[in-house]
């Protein structure tokens, strides 16, 4: 995969030992850490798998958990779906099913196109930042959102759409004084699936999602077209993926 962020990556690597010096074991999340209704802002259908434990936890505390998807994921892998099947429609349905399994309070597709590429490049959608900020501001007002959860600072594995959305989420949090902002997949030492972590995000909160294992598996299985991606991450089964990611770590960028 070509490197979209060569300078940023090199700089991060250089500074990493200094950044990680501030690492303290994150504390377990408690109900009082939730400021109120939350919005999970995700690049693609299936990115909720990275935070499905937290979505369940939020719902279990009786708080609303809304999901917004930047794209419908039409640029992703097709699984066993033939070329003439509309992948966007397939993935929209998969996402609806997953959101229902997790008990999400609402699901919104923001309407941006996930670019298809002919090679293994990953791409970010074309978008107007002002328009996106306005859409998100309206969505937050509609649902009275006080916690925004989105991608980490290196887009987990430097996926350009994840990196872009992280930056847009950060801007949103900067422009809304009372909005809390957390990022997913923060780095923790000795994590069994280190390759999906944001290597420079130092976590402040952790969640042991073991008790939500069945919902997390069913939510991932809803994404039939994408299962091979998760199986490749873990070099094993969907169950292995869920097992290896039962520890969710979050960075409270803005508590």
Residue of 38, 40, 47, 71 interacting with Zn ion (CB under 5 A): 47
Question: Nearest approach, Cβ of 159 to Zn ion (angstroms)?
Answer: 6
Does 44 help bind Zn ion (rule: CB under 5 A)? yes
Q: Which helix (H) or strand (E) holds 27?
A: strand 27-28
Does 223 help bind Zn ion (rule: CB under 5 A)? no
Q: Is the Cβ of residue 44 or residue 223 nearer to Zn ion in the bound state? A: 44
| Kind of pairing between the strands at 106-112 and 180-183 | unpaired
Q: How far is CA 146 from the centre of its chain?
A: 18
Q: Is the Cβ of residue 124 or residue 204 nearer to Zn ion in the bound state? A: 124
3-state secondary structure of 184: coil
Contact indicator for 253, 173 with CB cutoff of 8 Å: yes
Question: For Zn ion, which stretch binds (CB under 5 A), given 37-45, 141-149, 181-189, 199-207?
Answer: 37-45
Q: Tokens for 194?
A: 């280190």
Question: Nearest approach, Cβ of 31 to Zn ion (angstroms)?
Answer: 29
Q: Is the Cβ of residue 44 or residue 216 nearer to Zn ion in the bound state? A: 44
Residue of 43, 90, 101, 197 interacting with Zn ion (CB under 5 A): 43
Question: Nearest approach, Cβ of 242 to Zn ion (angstroms)?
Answer: 17
Neighbours of 128 (CB within 10 A): 10
Contact indicator for 52, 215 with CB cutoff of 8 Å: yes
Q: Is the Cβ of residue 47 or residue 168 nearer to Zn ion in the bound state? A: 47
Q: Is 10 exposed, middle or buried (0-12, 13-18, 19+ CB in 10 A)?
A: exposed
Question: Nearest approach, Cβ of 214 to Zn ion (angstroms)?
Answer: 23
Alpha carbons 199 and 122: distance in angstroms, whole number: 19
Q: Is the Cβ of residue 176 or residue 241 nearer to Zn ion in the bound state? A: 241
Question: Nearest approach, Cβ of 32 to Zn ion (angstroms)?
Answer: 30
Q: By the criterion CB under 5 A, which residues form the site for Zn ion?
A: 43-44, 47
């Amino acid at each position: 995969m070509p490197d979209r962020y060569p300078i940023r990556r090199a700089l991060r690597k250089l500074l990493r030992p200094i950044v990680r010096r501030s690492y303290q074991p994150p504390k377990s999340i408690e109900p009082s850490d939730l400021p109120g209704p939350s919005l999970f802002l995700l690049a693609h259908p299936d990115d909720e798998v990275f935070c499905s434990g937290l979505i369940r936890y939020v719902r279990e505390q009786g708080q609303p958990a809304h999901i917004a998807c930047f794209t419908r994921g039409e640029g992703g892998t097709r699984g066993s779906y033939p070329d003439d099947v509309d992948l966007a429609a397939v993935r929209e349905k998969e996402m609806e099913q997953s959101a229902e399994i997790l008990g999400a309070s609402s699901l919104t597709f923001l309407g941006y196109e996930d670019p298809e590429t002919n090679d293994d490049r990953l791409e970010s959608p074309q978008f107007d930042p002002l328009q996106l900020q306005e859409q998100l501001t309206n969505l937050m007002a509609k649902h009275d959102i006080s916690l925004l959860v989105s991608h980490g600072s290196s887009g987990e594995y430097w996926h350009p759409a994840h990196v872009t959305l992280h930056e847009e989420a950060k801007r949103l949090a900067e422009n809304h004084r009372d909005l809390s902002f957390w990022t997913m997949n923060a780095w923790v030492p000795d994590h069994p699936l280190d390759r999906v972590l944001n290597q420079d995000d130092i976590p402040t909160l952790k969640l042991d999602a073991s008790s939500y294992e069945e919902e997390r598996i069913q939510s991932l299985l809803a994404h039939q077209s994408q299962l091979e991606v998760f199986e490749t991450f873990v070099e094993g089964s969907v169950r292995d993926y869920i097992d290896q990611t039962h520890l969710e770590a979050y960075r409270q960028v803005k508590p």
